[in-house]
Chains A and B, each alone.
Chain A
Amino acid sequence: GDSVTQMEGPVTLSEEAFLTINCTYTATGYPSLFWYVQYPGEGLQLLLKATKADDKGSNKGFEATYRKETTSFHLEKGSVQVSDSAVYFCALSESGGSNYKLTFGKGTLLTVNP
């Protein structure tokens, strides 16, 4: 079945450092890919998405590119802030849209120190 593997955490960075969180997936078709963020005590929020190969999703300085050849969707940010501290989840939707079930990775805890 479909699965998502993402970089084990925790990840600890200093403010203004470069962030990469790796994510690879296994799917039978052509899924849509997502990054969700979970701040302490809150629900999941969609950070960015890509619905087809070579699409780049971006939001709040975060970017991820849908790489079909490497089945990857790595999250990057050029300069992290303390407010970016949260758990980040990579996810896929097997039917190409968000109305179908989401399959999540285990999450990566990011801590950014001032």
Chain B
Amino acid sequence: DAGVTQSPTHLIKTRGQQVTLRCSPKSGHDTVSWYQQALGQGPQFIFQYYEEEERQRGNFPDRFSGHQFPNYSSELNVNALLLGDSALYLCASSALGSGGYNEQFFGPGTRLTVL
């Protein structure tokens, strides 16, 4: 059973460009959350998707947007990249639909470098 997968592993962009990161949740999971982890810091919550809708959002500007597809996979889009967007972007999946306590499983992340 594959866990959470993310692509690409690494990405280098220049300021002002746009980037799309992808996440496939663990089998059986229907909820995807995205986090930004700057170097030496803890992950910061960006947003969460369930049933193809943004369910909850953290304190990130509108340049950060997302999408969830019918197969539960998700994309994170960042427009007008800034140097400060350089970070490890983590995707986590969980099974909201089954109710009760559900652990969030994290992927290995995508390392984004903005030059």
Contacts and interface: CB of A to CB of B under 8 A. Distances in A.
A43 B58 CA distance: 20
Contacts of B96: 99
Contact of B43 (A41, A51, A98, A102): A102
A67 interface: no
Given A97-B101, A98-B94, A99-B31, A105 B109 contact: no
B81 interface: no
A51 B42 contact: no
Interface residues of B, number: 26
B32 to A, nearest CB: 11
A105 B104 CA distance: 17
Contacts, number: 60
Contacts of B107: 43
A62 B58 CA distance: 30
3 tightest Cβ-Cβ pairs between the two chains A and B: A104-B42, A43-B106, A101-B45
Interface of B: 4, 31, 33, 35, 40-45, 48, 56, 58, 90, 92, 94, 96, 100-104, 106-109
Given A101-B33, A104-B43, A43 B4 contact: yes
A100 B43 CA distance: 14
Contact of B103 (A42, A46, A104, A105): A46
Given A102-B45, A104-B42, A106-B40, A97 B102 contact: yes
A98 B104 contact: yes
Interface size class on chain A is 20 to 34
Interface of A: 4, 32, 36, 41-46, 49, 51, 89, 91, 97-107
17 contacts: A36-B106, A43-B106, A43-B107, A44-B90, A46-B104, A51-B101, A97-B101, A98-B104, A99-B96, A101-B48, A101-B56, A102-B45, A102-B92, A104-B43, A106-B42, A107-B40, A107-B41
A9 to B, nearest CB: 10
A100 B56 contact: yes
B72 to A, nearest CB: 14
B106 to A, nearest CB: 4
